[in-house]
Copies of this chain bind each other. A is one copy, B any other.
Amino acid sequence: MKRITIRDVSVKAGVSTAAVSYVLNGREGKVSPETVLKVRRAAEELNYIPDFSARSLVNNKSKLIGVVIPQTEDRKQLLLQNPFYSELICGIEARLRQSGYHMILSGVEKGEGYLDTSMQRNLDGAIITGIYQESFYEDLKKVRMPIVLIDSYIYDSHFHVVGIDDELGGYMATKHFIDNGHTNIALVTGLIRKDGVVEKRFLGYKRALKEAGLFYHPDYVFEHSVTYEYGQEAAHLIAAKHPEITAVFATSDLMAMGVMRGLRDAGKQVPEHVSVIGFDDISVARMSTPPLTTIMQDTIARGITAADRLLTAIGNTDGELPAEPTIMPLTLVDRDTVRKLT
């Protein structure tokens, strides 16, 4: 199928390429109504499809958005295994397509930056999820496209942020345990990196303890990777070494699922012996047995919001600085994994 160019259309319509360009870009004021008709018909008949590469070349707009997702540590694959990111993508893609944009989804080789990709592809903007080393963000600042950060507490005037109140989430979960009579509450979490989301959740956990006059036991914090397997492992440790623990707050549902399995492996019932709360409310949370009590964030909505902010930022040609972070709401979904202690 040979490519139909704007020239083909102009010939068929008996006008200039400029006229065609004007008509097809809505600048109809610049040409006569009859020319508009002729062009419309010619384009229709020839089934003309514009070449975005050519457009991109002339006006530096690609209608392309870069979306970056973290990768698994070991292998070099996207962390899409975590449904959290899948849902985010759903939201982002839906909103972008609706506005005529396409999404380039990719991970970033560790050590590599994103500047190359963004320049090569003439990206109109990017949504970055996950946390990276500082140099990565420094690089990003050099590009003059709008960028939305998700899962990041880098409040730099260069970046838009669509986040949640992670500290509050950690607090809510822990408080819920306390309200139900629990006092020995463990935390199972991924690596606590400075200014990362889990650090905030951890801080919320500590605040709730302190507020209730409970001691913070460093022994009760199990910190490693955000995986089902580690949740399981942590539960084994808890069952073996800390039988006094009656509640576990896992900073992600994926880990919470692992915790439940690990507890069961060790002969503990959930929630009879140990209560569990997760974070995110990914779809498996309600599918688990028993259904998981968790801190819900509407991830799809978050993706949509992120895309929204990006699109409006792209629209604002005047390079005004990003407004303050958008903070999405959090809700505790009380399902069946928390037991009320007499």
- Which A residues fall within an 8 A CB radius of B? 1, 3, 49-54, 56-57, 62, 64, 75-78, 80-81, 83, 86-87, 89-91, 93-94, 97-98, 102-107, 109, 115-117, 119-122, 142-144, 228, 257-258, 260-261, 264, 283-284, 287-289, 300
Would you call the interface of chain A mostly helix, strand, loop, or mixed? helix
Q: In the assembly, what is the distance between CA of A103 and CA of B106, in Å?
A: 7
Ranked nearest first, the 7 interchain pairs of A and B with the lowest CB-CB distance are A53-B56, A289-B289, A49-B119, A53-B53, A80-B86, A77-B90, A105-B105
A1 surroundings in chain B (CB, below 8 A): 142-144
Whether the Cβ atoms of A93 and B105 lie closer than 8 Å is yes
Q: In the complex, what's the smallest C-beta–C-beta distance from A244 to chain B, in angstroms?
A: 25
Specify which chain B residues have a CB less than 8 angstroms from the CB of A288 in the assembled complex: 287-289
- Asked whether, in the complex, the Cβ of A52 is within 8 Å of the Cβ of B121, the reply is yes
Cα–Cα, bound, A19→B49 (Å): 34
Q: Are B122 and A53 touching (Cβ within 8 A)?
A: yes
Q: Which residues of B contact A54 (CB under 8 A)?
A: 53, 57
A119 touches which of B3, B91, B257 (Cβ 8 Å): B3
Q: What is the chain B residue whose CB lies nearest that of A85?
A: B86
Residue of B with least CB distance to A3: B119
Of chain B, the residue at the smallest CB distance from A49 is: B119
**Nearest CB of chain B from residue A5's CB, rounded to whole Å:** 11
Q: With the chains together, A260 CA to B288 CA distance in Å?
A: 10
Please, which residue of chain B has its CB at the minimum distance from the CB of A291?
B261
Distance of A201 from chain B, by nearest CB (Å): 22
- Given contacts A103-B104, A289-B264, A116 and B80 within 8 Å (CB-CB): no
Do B87 and A81 touch across chains, with their CB atoms under 8 A apart? yes
Of the candidates B62, B97, B261, the one whose C-beta lies within 8 Å of that of A287 is B261
Contact yes or no, B51 A57, CB < 8 A:
yes
Rounded to whole Å, the gap between the CB of A47 and the closest CB of chain B is 9
Other-chain residue from B52, B260, B264 in contact with A120 (beta carbon distance below 8 A): B52
- Report the separation of the CA atoms of residues A76 and B93 in the bound assembly, to the nearest whole angstrom: 10
CB distance A102 to B117 under 8 Å? Answer: yes
Inter-chain CA distance A108–B119, complex, in Å, is: 27
Residues of B within 8 A of A287 (CB): 228, 257-258, 261, 284, 288
Chain B residue numbers with a CB within 8 Å of A261 are 287, 289
A121 to chain B, nearest CB (A): 6
B283-A228 in contact (CB<8A): yes
- In the complex, what residues of B have CB within 8 A of residue A264's CB? 289
| Cα separation A50 to B116 with both chains bound (whole Å) | 9
Which of chain B's residues has its CB closest to A289's CB? B289
- Chain B residues contacting A98 (CB-CB under 8 Å) are 76
